Amino acid sequence: MKIARRSDGTRRRIIAVLAAVLTLATASAVVSGVRAHQLRGTESAANAALVDTEATEAVVEQVSASLKAAFSYHHTRLERTEHAMDVGLIGEAAAEYRREFEAAAQQAKRRKLVKAATVRAIGVRELTDGRATVLVFLDQQVSRQGSAPTSSTATLDVTALRDNDGVWRISDIEGL
């Protein structure tokens, strides 16, 4: 079978066009790939704080509630605070705070103390898939029957982890 031969000129032209398109396409693939990676691969991009507003809100709400419950107590209902610790705190934070609370609980019973903790300000610093770091200003007011309450504010750098059910639990509390 005989096929019509194209001239060498046509072949060269086709090769030149293909080579040019190949070069351009490769270059633009590389440039856009690098740019896309630069935009998505930054530290800013990995941090979802205030970007994922729903998750940020959940962290703020749950960490606030846990701190408030775990840092407040009434000398007649100390088991409530212990329950709040069991629910809201895990790991290092749970172990450490439990030790501290035992001493505080003894004193609370003896001196009939009531402590109320409220979150004055809270901001999520970092939020990734299952981990959040949160800056908290926690007001604490201790009152004793028959005397004026004393107030103080703690600055806490809190780390929270999300469990499989989507619940945020405090795993570390650093006082600043």
Partner 1 sequence: MRLVRDPLVAILAVLTVVAVAAAAWFGTAWVSAARDEGLARAEQRDVVLQAAEHGLVTLHTLDHREAKRDVAAWLDVTAGGLHRDLAGDQVGQREQARQTKTVSSAELLRAAVTELNGHAGTAQVIAVLTTTLETQGAKGEKKSTERKRVNAELVRRDGRWKVSAVEAAA
If one counts every other C-beta atom within 10 angstroms of the C-beta of residue 28, the result is: 10
Cα separation, 9 vs 13, in Å, equals 6
Secondary structure letter of residue 62 according to DSSP? H
Exposure string over 155-164, b if 16+ CB within 10 A, otherwise e: ebebbbbbee
What minimum distance in Å lies between the beta carbon of 146 and partner 1?
Answer: 26
What minimum distance in Å lies between the beta carbon of 35 and partner 1?
Answer: 5
160 CB-side CA count, 13 A:
32
Identity of the residue, 107 or 153, whose beta carbon is nearer to partner 1 in the bound complex: 153
What minimum distance in Å lies between the beta carbon of 147 and partner 1?
Answer: 21
Identity of the residue, 37 or 99, whose beta carbon is nearer to partner 1 in the bound complex: 37
Q: Provide the binding-site residues for partner 1, judged by CB under 8 A.
A: 3, 5-6, 10-11, 14-15, 18-19, 21-22, 24-26, 28-30, 32-33, 35-36, 39-40, 42-45, 47-52, 120-125, 134-135, 137, 139, 153, 155, 157, 176
Identity of the residue, 33 or 91, whose beta carbon is nearer to partner 1 in the bound complex: 33
> How far is residue 85 CA from its own chain's centroid?
19
Identity of the residue, 47 or 72, whose beta carbon is nearer to partner 1 in the bound complex: 47
What minimum distance in Å lies between the beta carbon of 96 and partner 1?
Answer: 19
- Nearest CA to 157 out of 120, 124, 108 is that of 124
